[in-house]
Structure 1
Amino acid sequence: MSQTVLEQVPVLSMADLAKPDFAEAFGQSFQRFGFAMVKDHGMDIDLIGEGWALARRFFALPEEVKRRYDAKLNGGQRGYTAFGTEIAKGASENDLKEFWHVGRDLPVGDRLALTMPPNVWPDEMPEFRPVFARLYAEFDRVGAELLSAIALYLGLPERWFDGPVENGNSILRLLHYPPVSPEAPGIRAGAHEDINLITLLLGAEEGGLELKDRDGNWLPVVPPPGALAINVGDMLQRLTNHVLPSTSHRVVNPPPERRGHSRYSMPFFLHLRPDFMIDALPQCVTADNPRRDPPISAHDYLTERLIEIGLIRKD
C-alpha cells in the first residue's frame, strides 16, 4: 500500500453516485481498509463553522470553569473530561487530550434513560446547546444514510439499521489536543479501535490522524476540506463477524514547528440502542468464517469497553 491514504482510498460522493453504486464502493472501502471518505454529505457548512468556533471558546475557558461539568460521575458520557483522563485499551500512557460529550436528548419517561444520562450544558455559553443539538441531529441523519448503504452492501433491507439505532446512545465528541513542546516525544492519542458501529469524523485543521493498514503500516489520514472520514467500530465488526473489520488508528504529534498549535476535531460515535443484542449476522457466518463472539447487549459491551479505557472505574 502507498504512503498516503488518499492515493488508495477514493473520496466517495453521496450526491453523484446512485445508491447501489455508492453502497458497493462504500462497503468495499470498509472491507479493504475499515475506513472510507465521503463528500457531498449535505451537512450545513455554516453550522459546522459555528460548532468549531464554540469548541475553541469552550476549551479556552479556565480549568476550574470546565471542571464544573466533570463527566466522571456519568462514566464520561456527558459533559467535560479533563486532559489526560482517557487511555487507549492496552496502552501504558494516558492520551494528551480533553473533550466534551453531547449525547441524545430522550423523550421524557423513556426507559432507555436508565442507561443513557441526560446532557450537560455550560451555563457560560447559552448558544452552546442549540448549535450542538442541531449538529448532533445532522450527524444522526447522515449516519443513518451511511448505515443504509452498509445494509445494502451486506445484503440486508436498505433501512435495516433504522430500528437498531433508534434512540441509540450516539455521542458527539468535541476534542482538544493542547499544544505540546517541540521536544515532546510519542503521540497525542494511543492506537485504538472505536467501540461503536461507525464513527463520522470532521477533519481537523492540524494533522496527526493515522490508520494502520492490513500490512501493519501507519498511514496519514487527511480528508479533503468538508469531507467526512468514516471508520468501522468494534460493534459493527462484531455484528458482521469481522467481515467489516474495525481499524486501529491514532493521533501522532505534529512536526516540531507545529507543536505549539492546538488540534481540534469533532467525531460522532454512532451507537446502537442500549438494549440491542449484538449477534453475528447469519450471512456473515460461514464455514470459512465461523462465529467469533457470543451475543452481548450494546449497553453491556459499551460498559466493558468504558472500563478498559478508564472512563468508568471498576469497583
Structure 2
Amino acid sequence: MSDIASVSIARPLEEVAQELGRSFEEYGFAVIRDHGIPQALIDRAEAMSKAFFALPDADKRAYHIPGGGGARGYTPFGTEKAKGAEVQDLKEFWHVGRELSEGHELSQFMAPNIWPGEVEGFRATFTELYAAFEEAGGRVLEAIAIHLGLPRGFFAPTVEDGNSVMRLLRYPPLEGEDAEGAIRAAAHGDINTITLLLGAEEAGLELLTASGEWLAVDPPEGALVVNIGDMLDRLTNGKLRSTTHRVVNPTGEAAYRARYSMPFFLHFRPDYVIETLPSCIDPAAPEDHPAPISSHDFLMQRLREINLA
C-alpha cells in the first residue's frame, strides 16, 4: 500500500499528527487503527445493513424520499453518479443523519431521520454507531489541527452539529465475463470535510496518485480508511488533498459477490464559512485561493453535480 500512513490514534496525537498530515498531503488518504469503535457494534451494524438490503425491492423503496436529495432513508440503484460521469454508479444506499432537537437553529438544513420497521434494533444500533464515528472523526481532526499548527481544538466548533451523514452501502454482485475489473463507483472526490470508511478490507478501493497511477488501498481488518474531502481541501488551499478515488470490482471469487461498506461523511456546520486558512495562503500569491463560501452552499452546489439535488 505504498507509504500511505497507518497509525494508531490510541497513541498521543502529537506522536502521529505529522505522519498523518504527510499522508494526507501526499495521498489524501490514511489508515487509522485503534479508532475506538467497538468491533461488536461494527458486527451488529453490518448484520443489520445486510438484513435491510435483503428486503424486497418494494419494501426498500417505501423509504425513498423523492426530492430529498438522498439525505435520509433509501436511495435506489441508478440514482447517484460521480461528477462528470455519464452513467450512474452500481450501488444502493441508506443514509442516517444527525438527530436535532425540535426547534434547533440548524433544523432547516437537516431533515429528520426515518427508520425501517422491518429490522429490529436498527435505530438504536445506527444511532450508537453514528456517535462512535463522530468521536473517532473528532480525534482525527485534532491530529490534523496539530499538523497544521492550529490549536488542537480548532475544528471542534466548526463541526459541532455539522451535517454529517452515515451511509450504509451495497454494491450488488455482478455477473458475466466482464465482472472482474468492472467499475462499481466511478472516479470521484468526496464533498465533505473528512470521510471515515468501514468495510474497505474487501479489495476494490483505489486512489489516484499525483503521478496519475491508481493505487489500491488495502487496510488491515477492522481499521478505518480516512480521506480528505473537498471542503477541507478548500479550507487548506489544497495543502491537504481531496484525492480522486474509485471502487473497482476485484478479481476472482470476490468479483461475483455483493460488496458492503459504511462510510461516514463528516461535515462542517451548515453555517460555517469555508475561508482559506491564513497559514495556507502563499505570501507570493496572496490572491491565489478559493473565495469564501458557506458549507451548505458548497454542499448544495456539489449535490446538483452528482444528481442528488
| Structure 2 length-normalised TM | 0.96
Partner of 2:267: 271
Partner of 2:152: 158
Match for residue 247 of structure 1 among 238, 243, 250: 243
Letter in 2 for 1:195: I
Deviation at 1:183, TM superposition (A): 2.4
Give the secondary structure class of the aligned counterpart of 2:131.
Answer: helix
Distance 1:212 1:289 in 2: 27
Give the secondary structure class of the aligned counterpart of 2:256.
Answer: coil
Q: Does 1:311 align with 2:308?
A: yes
**Cα 1:289–1:170, aligned 2, differ >3 Å: closer, same or farther?**
farther
Match for residue 139 of structure 1 among 133, 138, 157: 133
Whether the 8 Å CA contact 1:241–1:293 is kept in 2: the answer is yes
Match for residue 124 of structure 1 among 87, 108, 118: 118
Partner of 2:9: 14
Deviation at 1:219, TM superposition (A): 1.1
**Cα 1:204–1:30, aligned 2, differ >3 Å: closer, same or farther?**
closer
Identity %: 53
Partner of 2:279: 283
Matches within 5 A, 1:123-272: 123-184=117-178, 186-255=182-251, 257-272=253-268
User: Mean alpha-carbon deviation: is it higher for 250-259 or for 52-61?
Assistant: 250-259
Matches within 5 A, 1:15-164: 15-16=10-11, 18-164=12-158
**Moved beyond 4 Å, runs of 4+:** none
Deviation at 1:226, TM superposition (A): 0.9
Whether the 8 Å CA contact 2:200–2:225 is kept in 1: the answer is no
The number of residue pairs the alignment matches comes to: 306
Letter in 1 for 2:9: M
**Cα 1:29–1:38, aligned 2, differ >3 Å: closer, same or farther?**
same
Q: Deviations over 1:63-100 (max 9, x none)?
A: 00000110333211000000121100001111000000
**Cα 1:72–1:183, aligned 2, differ >3 Å: closer, same or farther?**
farther
Letter in 1 for 2:296: H
- The unaligned stretches of length 5 or more in structure 2 are none
Distance 1:244 1:254 in 2: 29
Deviation at 1:54, TM superposition (A): 0.3
Q: Deviations over 1:114-170 (max 9, x none)?
A: 011110100112310000000000000010111011111111110011101000000
Distance 1:173 1:288 in 2: 41
Q: Deviations over 1:267-304 (max 9, x none)?
A: 00000000100110011001356432111111000001
Distance 1:260 1:24 in 2: 40
Deviation at 1:24, TM superposition (A): 1.2
User: Mean alpha-carbon deviation: is it higher for 280-289 or for 116-125?
Assistant: 280-289
Letter in 2 for 1:56: K
Give the secondary structure class of the aligned counterpart of 2:67.
Answer: helix
| Structure 1 length-normalised TM | 0.94
Give the secondary structure class of the aligned counterpart of 2:207.
Answer: strand
Deviation at 1:184, TM superposition (A): 3.2
